[in-house]
């Protein structure tokens, strides 16, 4: 007397894959799409900088110092005669590198420590909390400063050390998030079912918990990139980050500091670029958060 | 009487409550207290009680998802406390669990095939064939189809998801399945399908069940023996018909009288139970049911009644029975 | 004149995938002082039916009806402001989850006084006396103390009684109860059901009780309407419905429910209805139940059955109702 499967037993109507659903929801968010467009432009600019830049960003040309925006120099020139547009374009490379590398470092550490703390709890948890509580007490900028100087090898290449330092200073947020996620997912019934099935911790973490956390992690990555770009701009402006003549946007703003009245384009152009980049990644992060959350459906 | 498969021996489970600045343990929730039960091979033991009685906790203790505070659970005579490594894996295979909520007991990011094949892969039961192939067999056995292998849980209805959960448990060829309220969250017509499916599977595979539920009619239908719990303790245990026709414990009587019969010619005449269910944090001294029992005497309020066998197979914990 | 009259009520929802009809031509009558049961499984439309009466359907839903009146006043033609004057006053609703229906931050007394202050213009002070009276009526012990307590301080059963009290405080003509006992323990449920019958006898309010539990229906209702896939497929007084169901779905439901009080010697097999409730997007042609029906024949797939009245007061929508009635429930 097996119960027959009648035609009415067919599964529900809409059969969209997880990622397609997320993408569809993201697409409906206009602001997030605009942000995404800008990010794509940024990536293209970074990749094609050598082709797009009208001039070499580092070579000085003292005959065209501090010229205002013109057809020849759409963003004007700086105090060494370098074309600002070219420098902004090359600067996008630094910005994206910082974003990617620093966030990668932060995510790796954060996920690892947070995961262990959240999954095992107890003493392990307390240790991790202890560690990140200490790290979190340092003011971020100073911490980055100290790390940049302390990291071996001393001297150059400084660029990479800056990226690393920013990553090492910002893993705490992701660690906390991961820890909380693991703690709550640990009690999910399907995790218990897997345990009852005989699954070991590795299988549970990689097949049951992580796939359900991807949404949160992606959002954290987008937000992390925004934060990294802002942090780099900050310390470079102060003179402790990327050093000239590298065309980091922070460095450019720093160089144009004294010329706000006379050559405003030296500050405004890189500053706006930074602003738009940080803003876009944050908007994208918000959009992704809504897109991953199926409860955010509008009728 | 066939061999005992799963035995609870004076099992106690208390959950600590922390409080204060230092987060010290200030009290305990007495979820399960001094419960002794045996489930034999091939039988279904129904475990009934209302919310907070500890039946779900007991179910989870039975599959080692929780560890008893005191006492032990034995599988084929071996205490679960001493199981580790290969023996533990063997236990996990032989004793499975089905959950109440078909929505939260399935990983939303795992396709049906993966859900069922996981157990097969963990215990290396595929015997030459790819695990997904075997998984398809189990899907069909529970009333789903091979085409459902790549589908995700959200594409299934509640009843179908519950079938998926059953297939997952079945795929590792268990001996005993703890069914934790498997039909409570389902529509009426689907409940009947799942209950009948469970019965068929029991016949076909020689399974034993610990069937935890709050609906007495469902429990009566599927169980060989029934045990009643109240506030963490056992009140009564007897063969099915004996418990329903000649109950001895006042709580069992109250429970039976309160169930509305789907027949307007049999009117509801519930035995009144004054007061509320007491807290599990500070359970009453003496018999737990005494505060609400019409037969309660001073003796009942003073001393915990003994769990004794008043007639063959019929156990009660009551001074006045 | 019936208290509530509903004729040909339809509800259509605007969704991203097009228009979805949740209710197809629902008919319902409730007389003063009777308890009418609305039975069905998930997705059958019973909740939408009662939300339509109070016009609390989601904004994307459009309600249309030939007739929807309370004491001869058309509910669909009232303004939102006038409807607010009716909700909590002439028509009250109670829901399944008492914890989420009661505001956890406001005392019981205050919450129960609110309808009185709003609809009857009483002062908070005089409202309080009436509230204590009603709390006593629903069987909450020591009401003058409870008035000052918060929902979380009451047990589940007490909270449900408090919700019933809140619904009754303005002496409504119609009480709509949407699965009021589903989330409760069986002993508490028995108490609430006894309470509802007693209140009905004392206040002569009519009750529209939505549930999927046939036991509750049998014990409490005077008349029952069975719903399936957004349609009302059978309606009868409770005795005849259980003794001689006329629709295969009703009969199937009764056969699939396990019974506690079996007559000795009987070993009944549960006869499950095969298949599942149709997804509202994929309702079968003709009679929506035909794919799962043991009595179905060709016509069932082609034509929607008309509602007929094979016995007094007993209506059904089935091509083969006569055959269904003949075959005993056994």
CATH of residue A226: 1.10.3720.10
pLDDT per residue as tens digits for the range C237-275: 999 999 999 999 999 999 899 988 876 555 667 888 988
Residue B185 clears pLDDT 50, i.e. is over it: yes
d(CA C122, CA C129) in angstroms, rounded, equals: 11
* Domain-embedded: residue A81: no
Residue A243: give the domain boundaries.
Answer: 22-46+92-296
Against chain A, the chains showing at least 3 CB pairs within 8 Å are B, C
Cβ-Cβ contacts under 8 Å, A19 against chain B: none
Cβ distance of B122 and A203 shorter than 8 Å: yes
When computed from its CA atoms, the radius of gyration of chain C, rounded to whole angstroms, is 21
Tokens in use for C45?
């439309």
C-alpha distance from A40 to closest chain C C-alpha (Å): 29
What pLDDT is recorded for position A3?
Answer: 41
Cβ-Cβ contacts under 8 Å, B258 against chain C: 186-187, 189-190
Cβ-Cβ contacts under 8 Å, A3 against chain C: 272, 274
Cβ distance of A1 and B99 shorter than 8 Å: no
Tokens 């990689």, located at residue:
A206
* Domain-embedded: residue A184: yes
Tokens 């089905």, located at residue:
B98
B257 touches chain C (CB under 8 A): yes
User: How many whole angstroms from its chain centre is CA B253?
Assistant: 21
Task: Give the CA distances from residue C175 to residues B74, C25, C167, C171, C200, in Å, rounded to whole numbers and listed in that order.
Answer: 53, 22, 7, 9, 10
Closest by CA to B12, choosing from B57, B68, B51, B67, is B68
Alpha helices (runs of H) in C138-285, residue ranges in sequence order: 143-146, 156-168, 186-203, 214-220, 238-243, 248-256
C-alpha distance from B151 to closest chain A C-alpha (Å): 9
Which of the residues B91, B118, B137 would you substitute to probe the A interface, choosing the one with the greatest number of A C-beta atoms within 10 Å? B118
Beta strands in chain A (DSSP E): none
Q: How many CB atoms lie within 10 A of CB A63?
A: 8
* Domain-embedded: residue A77: no
A126 touches chain B (CB under 8 A): no
Q: C22: Cβ–Cβ under 8 A, 6 or more apart, which residues?
A: C11, C12, C13, C45, C48, C61, C230, C280
pLDDT per residue as tens digits for the range C117-131: 988 888 988 899 999
Residue B167 clears pLDDT 90, i.e. is over it: yes
Task: Give the CA distances from residue B100 to residues A25, A290, B91, B224, C25, in Å, rounded to whole numbers and listed in that order.
Answer: 31, 30, 22, 21, 36
Alpha helices (runs of H) in C173-212, residue ranges in sequence order: 186-203
Cβ-Cβ contacts under 8 Å, A27 against chain C: none
* Spans of chain A below 70 pLDDT: 1-16, 153-157, 294-299
Task: Give the CA distances from residue B79 to residues A44, A92, B7, B19, B47, in Å, rounded to whole numbers and listed in that order.
Answer: 64, 64, 9, 33, 22
* Domain-embedded: residue A59: no
Peptide bond before residue A245 is cis, with ω within 30 degrees of 0? yes
How many domains does chain A divide into? 1
d(CA C7, CA B222) in angstroms, rounded, equals: 43
Which run of H or E residues covers position C225? strand C223-228
Query: What value does the mean pLDDT of chain B take?
Result: 91
C-alpha distance from B52 to closest chain A C-alpha (Å): 19
Cβ distance of A8 and C60 shorter than 8 Å: no
* Domain-embedded: residue A260: yes
CA atoms within 13 A on the CB side of C195: 25
Which of the residues A8, A10, A13, A21 would you substitute to probe the C interface, choosing the one with the greatest number of C C-beta atoms within 10 Å? A8
Question: Which of A135-139, A293-297, B111-115, C26-30 shows the lowest mean pLDDT across its residues?
Answer: A293-297
User: Measured between CB atoms, which of A6, A14, A299 is closest to C275?
Assistant: A6
Angle, CA of C1, C4 and C8, to the nearest 5°: 105
What pLDDT is recorded for position C328?
Answer: 64
What pLDDT is recorded for position B229?
Answer: 95
* Domain-embedded: residue A85: no
- Give pTM, 2 decimals: 0.85
pLDDT per residue as tens digits for the range A203-247: 998 899 888 888 888 999 999 999 999 988 888 888 877 777 788
Largest CA distance in chain A: 94
Tokens in use for A20?
């397609």
What pLDDT is recorded for position A296?
Answer: 47
Cβ-Cβ contacts under 8 Å, C273 against chain B: 189, 192-193
Closest by CA to B207, choosing from B24, B16, B1, B5, is B5
Tokens in use for A155?
């001297």
B253 touches chain C (CB under 8 A): no
What pLDDT is recorded for position A59?
Answer: 79
Cβ distance of B276 and C157 shorter than 8 Å: yes
Tokens 């005579």, located at residue:
B77
Against chain B, the chains showing at least 3 CB pairs within 8 Å are A, C
* Domain-embedded: residue A259: yes
End-to-end CA distance of chain C: 38
Question: What is this model's ipTM?
Answer: 0.88
Cβ-Cβ contacts under 8 Å, A3 against chain B: 143, 193, 196-197
Q: DSSP secondary-structure letter at A209?
A: I
Are B267 and C219 contacting, i.e. CB atoms less than 8 angstroms apart?
yes
* Domain-embedded: residue A12: no
Q: Let me know if A205 is exposed, middle or buried by CB neighbors in 10 A (0-12, 13-18, 19+).
A: buried
Which run of H or E residues covers position B98? strand B95-98
User: How many whole angstroms from its chain centre is CA C296?
Assistant: 28
Cβ-Cβ contacts under 8 Å, A299 against chain C: 14-15, 58-60
Name the residue of chain A whose CA is nearest to C278's CA: A8
Tokens in use for A229?
């770009």
What pLDDT is recorded for position C204?
Answer: 85
Cβ distance of C282 and A14 shorter than 8 Å: no
Residue C49 clears pLDDT 90, i.e. is over it: yes
Phi and psi for B311 in degrees, rounded to 5? -150, 165
Ramachandran bin of C145, using left for φ above 0, alpha for ψ from -120 to 50, beta for the remaining angles: alpha
């Amino acid at each position: 007397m097996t119960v027959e499967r009648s035609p009415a037993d067919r599964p529900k109507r809409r059969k969209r894959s997880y990622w397609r659903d997320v993408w569809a929801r993201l697409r409906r968010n206009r602001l997030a799409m605009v942000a995404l467009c800008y990010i794509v432009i940024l990536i293209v600019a970074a990749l094609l900088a050598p082709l797009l830049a009208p001039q070499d960003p580092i070579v000085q040309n003292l005959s065209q110092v501090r010229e205002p925006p013109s057809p020849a120099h759409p963003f004007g020139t700086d105090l060494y005669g370098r074309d600002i547009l070219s420098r902004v374009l090359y600067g996008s490379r630094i910005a994206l590198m910082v974003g990617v590398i620093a966030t990668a470092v932060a995510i790796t550490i954060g996920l690892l420590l947070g995961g262990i703390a959240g999954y095992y709890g107890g003493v392990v948890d307390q240790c991790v909390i202890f560690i990140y509580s200490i790290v979190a007490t340092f003011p971020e900028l100073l911490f980055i400063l100290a790390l940049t100087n302390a990291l071996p090898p001393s001297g150059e290449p400084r660029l990479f050390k800056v990226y690393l330092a920013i990553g090492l200073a910002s893993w705490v947020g992701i660690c906390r998030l991961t820890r909380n996620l693991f703690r709550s997912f640990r009690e999910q019934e399907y995790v218990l079912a897997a345990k009852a099935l005989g699954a070991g911790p590795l299988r549970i973490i990689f097949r049951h918990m992580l796939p359900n956390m991807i949404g949160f992690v992606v959002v954290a990555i987008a937000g992390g990139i925004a934060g990294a770009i802002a942090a780099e701009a900050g310390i470079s402006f102060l003179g402790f980050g990327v050093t000239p003549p590298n065309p980091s946007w922070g460095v450019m703003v720093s160089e144009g500091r004294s010329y706000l009245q006379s050559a405003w384009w030296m500050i405004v152009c890189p500053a706006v670029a930074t602003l738009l980049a940080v803003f876009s990644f944050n908007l994208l992060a918000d959009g992704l958060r809504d897109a991953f959350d199926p409860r955010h459906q509008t009728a | 009487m066939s061999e005992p498969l799963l035995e609870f021996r004076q099992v106690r489970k208390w959950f600590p409550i922390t409080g204060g600045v230092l987060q010290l343990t200030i009290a305990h929730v007495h979820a399960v207290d001094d419960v002794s039960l045996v489930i034999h091979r091939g039988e279904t033991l129904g475990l009934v009680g209302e919310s907070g009685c500890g039946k779900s906790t007991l179910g989870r203790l039975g599959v080692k998802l929780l560890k008893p505070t005191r006492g032990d659970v034995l599988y084929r005579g071996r205490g679960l406390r001493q199981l580790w490594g290969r023996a533990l894996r063997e236990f996990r295979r032989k004793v499975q669990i089905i959950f109440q909520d078909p929505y939260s007991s399935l990983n939303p990011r795992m396709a049906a095939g993966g859900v069922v094949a996981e157990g097969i892969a963990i215990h290396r039961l595929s015997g030459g064939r790819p695990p997904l192939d075997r998984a398809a067999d189990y899907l069909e056995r529970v009333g789903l189809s091979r085409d459902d292998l790549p589908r995700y849980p959200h594409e299934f209805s509640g009843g179908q998801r519950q079938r998926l959960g059953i297939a997952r448990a079945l795929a590792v060829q268990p001996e005993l399945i703890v069914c934790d309220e498997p039909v409570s969250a389902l529509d009426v017509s689907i409940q009947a399908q799942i209950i009948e499916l469970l019965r068929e599977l029991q016949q076909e595979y020689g399974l034993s069940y610990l069937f935890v539920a709050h609906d007495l009619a469902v429990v009566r239908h599927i169980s060989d023996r029934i045990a009643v719990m109240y506030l963490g303790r056992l009140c009564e245990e007897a063969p099915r018909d004996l418990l329903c026709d000649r109950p001895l414990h006042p709580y069992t009587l109250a429970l039976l009288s309160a169930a509305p019969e789907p027949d307007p010619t049999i009117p509801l005449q519930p035995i009144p139970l004054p007061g509320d269910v007491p807290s599990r944090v500070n359970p009453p001294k003496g018999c737990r049911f005494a505060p609400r029992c019409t037969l309660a005497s001073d003796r009942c309020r003073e001393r915990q009644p003994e769990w004794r066998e008043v007639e063959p197979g019929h156990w009660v914990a009551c001074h006045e029975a | 004149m019936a208290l509530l009259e509903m004729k040909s009520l339809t509800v259509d929802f605007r969704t991203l995938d097009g228009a979805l009809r949740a209710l197809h031509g629902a008919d319902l009558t409730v007389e003063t002082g009777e308890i009418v049961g609305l039975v069905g499984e998930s997705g059958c439309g019973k909740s939408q039916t009662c939300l339509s009466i109070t016009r609390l359907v989601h904004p994307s839903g459009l309600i249309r009806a030939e007739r929807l009146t309370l004491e001869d006043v058309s509910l669909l033609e009232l303004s939102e402001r006038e409807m607010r004057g009716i909700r909590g006053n002439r028509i009250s609703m109670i829901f399944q989850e008492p914890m989420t229906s009661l505001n956890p931050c406001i005392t019981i007394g205050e919450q129960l006084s609110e309808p009185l202050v709003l609809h009857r213009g009483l002062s908070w002070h005089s409202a309080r006396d009436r509230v204590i009276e009603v709390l006593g009526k629903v069987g909450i012990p020591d009401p003058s103390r409870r008035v000052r307590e918060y929902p979380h301080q009451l047990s589940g059963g007490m909270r449900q009684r408090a919700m019933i009290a809140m619904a009754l405080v303005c002496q409504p003509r119609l009480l709509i109860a949407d699965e009021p006992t589903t989330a409760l323990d069986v002993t508490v449920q028995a108490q609430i059901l006894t309470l509802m019958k007693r209140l009905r006898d004392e206040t002569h309010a009519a009750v529209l009780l939505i549930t999927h539990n046939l036991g509750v229906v049998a014990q409490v209702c005077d008349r029952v309407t069975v719903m399936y896939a957004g349609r009302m497929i059978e309606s009868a007084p409770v005795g005849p419905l259980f003794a001689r169901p006329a629709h295969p779905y009703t009969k199937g439901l009764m056969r699939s429910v396990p019974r506690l009080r079996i007559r000795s010697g009987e070993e009944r097999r549960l006869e499950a209805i095969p298949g599942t409730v149709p997804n509202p997007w994929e309702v079968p042609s003709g009679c929506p139940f035909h794919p799962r029906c043991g009595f179905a024949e060709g016509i069932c797939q082609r034509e929607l059955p008309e509602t007929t009245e094979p016995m007094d007061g007993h209506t059904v929508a089935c091509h083969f109702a006569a055959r269904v009635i003949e075959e005993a429930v056994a």
